[in-house]
Amino acid sequence: MNLDEFKYSKGKKFNYKEFDTEAKALNLNKEIIQAASVLNLQEMGKLQDKFYAYGKESLLLIFQAMDAGGKDGAVKHVMSGVNPQGVQVNNFKQPSKEEMAHDYLWRCIKKLPEKGIIGIFNRSYYEDVLITKVHSLYKDFNLPERCKKDIIEKRYKHIENFEKYLTENGTHVLKFFFCISKDEQKRRFKKRIDNKNKNWKLSESDIKERALWDDYMRAYEDAINKTSSSYAPWYVIPADKKWFARFFVSEIILKTMRAINPQYPKTNKDTEKLIQSCKKILENEKN
């Protein structure tokens, strides 16, 4: 299966109206895909152990979606096969007063993954060219007027340069947009209403945002088309089928980790001395 058809790098344009959110053309078997997901998670776990020990590069996974898009479930599923010690998950919601007192990238920069770590941004600095654009929130920002002029266009450039900076410093950036249909979102909202165990997920504001669906899709189109690059591509996931979306994420992460090909550190003279010293201490222990 070639998932590169859903990969957007420089020059390839994303158009929501032409996008198949169910990936009907793939004609996939659910049971086979779920089995493949399990195998992917097993291999990811082995590679992540090496990646953590290797400690020279990091991986940043950015997840964006409309509400009920399936981000949370995908993160939970895909990361179930790796060691939590090597994973950092950060959720970015409405900025706090402290965060608003800094530049918009500040709060995300603080949470970037260390070398050897897989970092997950559940929403990210992309909110500052999505919801900020749709609701024109920048008009009320505590910024001089000269900074507000063409602010969204400037931020596309900031983000593009920032992601290039990250990749040139050993951080692999993978960006996923869970693309669902408006009808599928409605079905998922109804499930939250009908299932008492999911009532806590309900948000009236989320449902009201549906009235701005077309505005959000245009914002996503612009963000994806203006920040896609060879070094930090976007993957637009047909997300109406959760089982496919989860497989998709695992497949792309696994492909990236295979390409990195992390290895356990090789032993050297100092390591050999340490091994012999520890071995001697253990052998000399009194029963």
pLDDT tens-digit profile of 234-279? 999 999 999 999 999 999 999 999 999 999 988 788 888 888 889 8
Q: Which residues of the chain have pLDDT under 50?
A: none
Residues 6+ apart with CB under 8 A from 93: 123
pTM for the whole structure: 0.93
The phi and psi torsions of 207 (rounded to 5 degrees) equal -70, -40
Domain positions in the chain are 3-283
Question: Are the C-beta atoms of 115 and 170 separated by less than 8 Å?
Answer: yes
pLDDT score recorded for residue 287:
59
CATH for 3-283 is 3.40.50.300
As a whole number of angstroms, the distance between CA 161 and CA 58 comes to 18
**Beta strand segments in the chain, E:** 7-8, 58-65, 87-91, 118-122, 171-179, 234-238
Residue 131, CA atoms < 13 Å, CB-side half-sphere: 16
User: Given strand 171-179, what is the order of strands in its sheet?
Assistant: 7-8, 234-238, 171-179, 58-65, 118-122, 87-91
pLDDT score recorded for residue 270:
83
pLDDT score recorded for residue 25:
66
Q: Which residues pair with 118 in a beta bridge?
A: 59, 87
